[in-house]
Structure 1
Amino acid sequence: MGMSKDNVTGLLLALSSSVFIGSSFIIKKMGLKKAGTTGKSAATGGHAYLYEPWWWFGMISMIVGEIANFAAYAFAPAILVTPLGALSIIFSAVLAHFILKERLHIFGVLGCVLCMVGSTTIVLNAPHERIIHSVKEVWQLATEPGFIVYTLAVVIMVSVLIIYCVPRYGQRHLVVYVGICSLTGSLTVMGVKAVGIAMKLTFEGTNQFTYFQTWFFTLAVIGCCLLQINYLNKALDTFNTAVVSPVYYVMFTSFTIFASMIMFKDWATQNKSQIATEFCGFVTILSGTFLLHKTKDMGDKPTENSSLDRATIINNTDT
């Protein structure tokens, strides 16, 4: 069966989103590296990158990608659009290899593959999204006990990461910075969905911006986005881009699906087979993430060993 016109449009938007988002990681990393040579780096709390054009080009690329991704959901189902986000990892890794000279060890490549397979498994077996007709309906779902508990848990975990873990482990463990971005991002997506519904209904003739709920969600999205941008910059300025991109994608996707299941009660429509398959997907993601962390520095070792071998050969020749 051929794809409908709307599905083709959604597919093209999702593909373009992956290209823009994948490129943004590389462009922003270039800007951060240049800014680090002229001022205090983002990893140490500096904001010199705000004066660097390359960083702004990267931000614009990411914004365009996110807008394209958001628009894709208006044409195609989530089961088609969401898995394509993994393509940004591949595109980013390829650009990092050729432009930034950042190479992954073979096990790191395997880790990326496991992450993408696990994420795709979860998304393909996730239930269909609940149809929302008004911002007030989203507000009602967001203020139910289950999602309030999740939101409080996210706020507490993010606070602990920022206050306790960042000063002690931020420079050594990628999951600290990426964890902050991913946990916050799960709330951002819920807010974006509410704002998107408000804009859609407003364009259709029913003004949703007269309700305080719309403005609350808008302010929440802006605040969460600023927090994500800050710590994503720190992650990119500290760790290998080819590792940041897949780990961020995996954690962000996992937390977002979990938040959506709580808020929209998607779990109620799933059978045991789907739940078991999703669990397998999570195990695959964890395996891939572990492999990425354990091998993130192995790509540079052959070069170091080769240098040592050449030095040994030269010394033996001299003697």
Structure 2
Amino acid sequence: MSVLNDTDNVANSSAPQPALNTSSPGAHRAEILENPLRTYLLGIIISICGNILISISLNIQKYAHVRQSQRDSKPYYTSAVWWCGVALMGIGELGNFAAYGFAPASLIAPLGSVSVIASAVISVIFLKETVRVSDVVGGSLAITGTYVLVTFAPHTITHITAHLIQYYIVSWYFVLYLSLEVLLFCILLYVYKKRNVKHIVVVMLLVALLASLTVISVKAVSGMITETIKGQLQFIYPIFYVMLVIMIASCAFQIKFLNQAMKMFDATEVVPINFVFFTASAIVAGIVFYQEFEGLALLNIFMFLFGCLLSFLGVFLIARNRPKIKQQDPDFIALDKIPSRSHTDKVQPEANTQTYGSLAAKLMCNSASRTRHNS
């Protein structure tokens, strides 16, 4: 009898509802389907394929940069190879976006470790980078952690509708969570901007707090688009466009702070810290907003967190002390380090003059050299 009632509730939830009823949480929980294995696996496969495409695109762009620097000809953005990498990255990001509509956010975010593993493998095979012991150990830990978290992650899939998003967004625990997040963000922004504290943890925490809103909004938009494709129109609800604006704004500011971090710190520091902070914020967002751990056994929670820890450690080992793309020539000696006054006299024009880098500058250097020899 209870099975029939559950079926009726699911059927009723797919019908158009003229008004929002926030007083009956059971009506929204009836939209949850237990163990829809096909949908769950589809989200995992889409996310893995998307992350592999992202890693391929990054290595293609890296190859384009290296080739252009060796040829010393046109800018990198004129290369067809570089644009091919950009296109692949766009497809990969779309795959990650779609995956949030099929699987829990707390599972899709940690699968970003697949991109780091694939990137390390591709760089060794095609870019001829050196295989290190830390790469092998880190890759093994990351693969093991990914398997563990996929196995013990929450398998409950929720139909993301506009009514469900509205119900979640006015819940007291999300209002409290959002208030604390805004307060912490303002404090960190004050420390970063006004106090001029440029520590990597401060910048990455700013990115992580924005990433939490990004994950919530991305899953909401992706889920509502998925429901619309299935036949239940969601574009008529204002909450869809609210989430769309939040998604675009949070992504833009997240990219801004990430670019600042990449300018101030090395990529080997930014990549693992960003992965850990982003994954942690995504898991917390999934737990608080979408209640993805509700009803999950304690053993599953412990093993899921253990799998995340293994992935974190693996990504850290892979990204640690990666070789830089551009390295200074070890045979290069700065001009001011060469003894003898005749070599340290300033004959090169200023960089802000019209003759800098021109034929006139070369003639100036040659004439100065001839004057020295004649004297």
Range class of TM-score, shorter chain: 0.5 to 0.7
Q: Which amino acid aligns with 1:20?
A: L
- Cα distance in 1 for partners of 2:82, 2:209 equals 24
Hey, what does 2:113 align to over in structure 1? 86
Show the 5 A alignment for 1:11-50: 13-26=46-59
User: What is the one-letter code of the residue matched to 1:193?
Assistant: K
Aligned ranges for residues 150-229 of structure 1 at < 5 Å? 150-165=177-192, 167-170=196-199, 173=200, 175-229=201-255
How far the C-alpha of 1:258 sits from its partner, in A, is 1.8
Which amino acid letter does the alignment assign opposite residue 69 of structure 1? N
Q: CA contact under 8 A between 2:106 and 2:282: conserved in structure 1?
A: no
Task: Write out aligned runs for 1:239-278 (5 A).
Answer: 239-241=265-267, 244-278=270-304
1:266 is paired with a residue of what secondary structure? coil
Q: Which has the larger radius of gyration?
A: 2
The separation in 1 between residues aligned to 2:162 and 2:248, in whole angstroms, is: 17
- Aligned with residue 143 of structure 1, among 142, 150, 170: 170
Instruction: Indicate how the Cα distance of structure 1 residues 6 and 274 shifts in structure 2: closer, same or farther if over 3 A, else same.
Output: closer
Change (3 A) 1:95 1:130: closer
Cα offset, 1:75, TM superposition = 6.4
Q: Is the 8 A contact 2:107 2:153 kept in 1?
A: no
Aligned residue for 1:127?
154
Q: Tell me, yes or no, if the aligned pair for 1:188 and 1:225 is still in contact at 8 Å.
A: yes
More helix by share: 1
Most deviating of 261-270 and 108-117: 108-117
Seen in structure 2, the aligned counterparts of structure 1 residues 244 and 275 have a Cα distance that, compared at 3 Å, is same
Provide the secondary structure at the position in 2 that maps to 1:150. helix
**Number of corresponding residues:** 285
> Mean alpha-carbon deviation: is it higher for 51-60 or for 145-154?
51-60
Deviations 1:210-260 (A, max 9, x none): 322111111100101101222222334444445544443333222212211
Give TM-score scaled by structure 2 length: 0.58
1:54-69 aligned at under 5 Å gives the runs 60-69=87-96
Deviation for aligned residue 1:131: 1.4
Task: Give, as a single letter, the amino acid of the residue that structure 2 aligns with 1:168.
Answer: V
Q: Which amino acid aligns with 1:148?
A: V
> In 1, Cα distance between the equivalents of 2:98 and 2:172?
31
Query: Aligned to 2:98, which of 58, 71, 74?
Result: 71
Conserved in 1, the CA contact under 8 Å of 2:268 and 2:322? no
User: Which stretch of structure 1 is more off in the superposition, 258-267 or 112-121?
Assistant: 112-121
Task: Give % identity.
Answer: 29
Contact 1:103 1:299 in 2 (8 A): no
- Whether the 8 Å CA contact 1:115–1:250 is kept in 2: the answer is no
Separation in 1, partners of 2:41, 2:149 = 23
Q: Deviations over 1:93-145 (max 9, x none)?
A: 34556888987964476456545644653443221244135212112112212
2:171 alignment partner AA:
E
Q: Distance in 2 between matches of 1:115 and 1:210?
A: 42
Q: Please, which runs of 5 or more residues in structure 2 have no aligned partner?
A: 1-36, 68-75, 332-375
CA RMSD of aligned residues (A): 4.5
Query: Aligned in 2, Cα 1:84/1:275: closer, same or farther, shift over 3 Å?
Result: closer
- Tell me by how many angstroms 1:89 deviates: 0.5
Specify the code of the residue in structure 1 equivalent to 2:182.
V
Distance 2:42 2:297 in 1: 31
Corresponding letter in the other structure for 1:189: V
- How many angstroms does 1:197 deviate by? 2.9
Q: Which runs of 5 or more structure 1 residues have no equivalent in the other structure?
A: 35-48, 308-319
- C-alpha distance in 1 between matches for 2:170 and 2:251: 21
State TM-score, norm by structure 1: 0.66
Counterpart-to-counterpart distance in 2, 1:116 and 1:238 = 31
